[in-house]
Amino acid sequence: MTKILLSIILIISTLHPVWAKDIEVTVYSDDSYAPYSYKKGRHAAGIYTEIMEIIFSRMKGYRVSIVPVPWKRGLKLLEEGKGFALYPPYKYPEKRPYIELYSNPIINEKVVLVCRHGSLEKTRVNWPEDYEGLTIGLNRGFSLGGKKFWEAVHNGTINVEETENNKMNLMKLLKGRIDCYLNDHFSIMWTLNNMRKNNEVPTRVSDVIRYSTFVSNQQGYLGITGRDQGKFPFKKDFLAQFNKILQELKNDGTIDTIINNFLEENDAELILPAHPCTARQ
């Protein structure tokens, strides 16, 4: 009798994965990083989001919801182990030790520095030492600029002002409240374009601001918390499936198509002369 019961238990345990419900997972997204990741109405939108939706729809055993949140709040959720994953952080393991796992790189981005003309009257070739004394705008929670930049900020030779989103930073830049603004170049152009459509910027933006020579290549990832204390035991399987499907989308051209279609459909024209290092080929 005991052997029969053990056999039944063994059979049931073997079949359980077939019967088990999908694991419900919440992934957080930046709500203010257009055109890559932003909030449209009550829902997540953007280039990364379209990629994520395809990947999540093909993953087996998971039902994934995407929830847009302010970037700094998303990082805090991972830091406290309350949130499972967030996109699209850059890979800063020293600054964000609470992110245990990163996906493979999803999109290549180019970070640029846009400055007021007066701030670039002096030759500024070397980053960050040539920018001492200036105030640089950043989106809240962003860690752009590199190690030497943040050392200069810590030492007080460069000032940083954080604001919630692209638009608020660009308004401050156009009004002369900050000297430069550091962010991805397509994201800056996207926001300026929308501001122009709403008559929120000068007719000729290039008369007020322009690119500096600074450019930095970055990549966006899906970041997974390491502070969950076993709350998310499935994270390695989740990430393995994610990376496999991500590579498939890269190989078949889906990601390139999403990027190109998204920018064209949303009229992401440039309203500043193209930075020589960021011009699309």
Alpha-carbon gap, residue 148 to 89, rounded angstroms: 20
Cα separations (Å) of 261 from 50, 61, 68, 264? 11, 30, 22, 5
Alpha-carbon gap, residue 271 to 244, rounded angstroms: 38
pLDDT at 4: 52
C-alpha dihedral, 212 to 216 to 222 to 225, nearest 10°: -100
Give 101-145 pLDDT, tens digit per residue.
999 999 999 999 999 999 999 999 999 999 999 999 999 999 999
* pLDDT band at residue 13 under the 50/70/90 scheme: very low
Mean pLDDT of the residues in the chain: 89
pTM attached to this predicted model: 0.84
Domains detected in the chain = 19-108+220-265 (3.40.190.10), 110-217 (3.40.190.10)
Alpha-carbon gap, residue 253 to 59, rounded angstroms: 19
pLDDT at 177: 97
Alpha-carbon gap, residue 221 to 107, rounded angstroms: 8
DSSP state at residue 204:
-
Whether the per-residue pLDDT at 18 is higher than 50: the answer is no
Backbone torsions φ then ψ of 280, nearest 5 degrees: -70, 140
DSSP 87-103: E-----TTT-TTEEEE-
Give 34-81 pLDDT, tens digit per residue.
999 999 999 999 999 999 999 999 999 999 999 999 999 999 999 999
